[in-house]
Amino acid sequence: MTRPVWVLNGPNLGRLGSREPDVYGSTSYAALTERCRALGAELDFAVEVRETNDEGELVRWLHAAADGSIPVVLNPGAFTHYSYALRDAAAQRTAPLIEVHISNPYAREEFRHTSVIAAVASGTIAGFGIGSYLLALRSLAAEQG
């Protein structure tokens, strides 16, 4: 039976491929979506990938995931560092939630060194480019057996 997994992306991630390729790589958002879905299919997941620049929408998606006990791979983007609303929504999780980042926040500007999400996530994977998402999906598969 295929299990649902949501890959949720915060602000500016829809611009992958054109946004600061020296930091975020040249993989487009469409290619990220395809790679997540393809790996998900191999892992028996029905992966749904979403992106929004709207904090409230991301909070609503996390509420829906909690209500449905749906595992989440979350790249909060800039919300990572200051959105207590997102942190509180993530804390309501009823299934694993893995925070991901394409770049390594600790190798960047100091304000990026703090994640308000990390303390309520199952774990964090960062610095492996698009591979961070794939590692998170593999981690969910291993955890859920």
* Catalytic positions, written as ranges: 24, 101
Task: Look up tokens 């190798």; give the residue.
Answer: 107
* Nearest by Cα to 120 from 104, 96, 100, 143: 96
Task: Look up tokens 């487009």; give the residue.
Answer: 28
Please give the chain's pLDDT, 145 residues, in tens.
Answer: 799 999 999 987 876 665 665 655 567 889 999 999 999 999 999 999 999 999 999 999 999 999 999 999 999 988 888 899 999 999 999 999 999 999 877 756 676 668 999 999 999 999 999 999 999 999 999 987 6
> Which H or E run includes 29?
helix 29-42
* Structural tokens at position 115: 């994640």
Rounded to the nearest 5 degrees, what angle is found at the Cα of 28, between the Cα atoms of 105 and 83? 40
Q: Which positions make up the binding site for substrate?
A: 75, 81, 88, 102-103, 112
* Domains and their CATH numbers in the chain: 3-144 (3.40.50.9100)
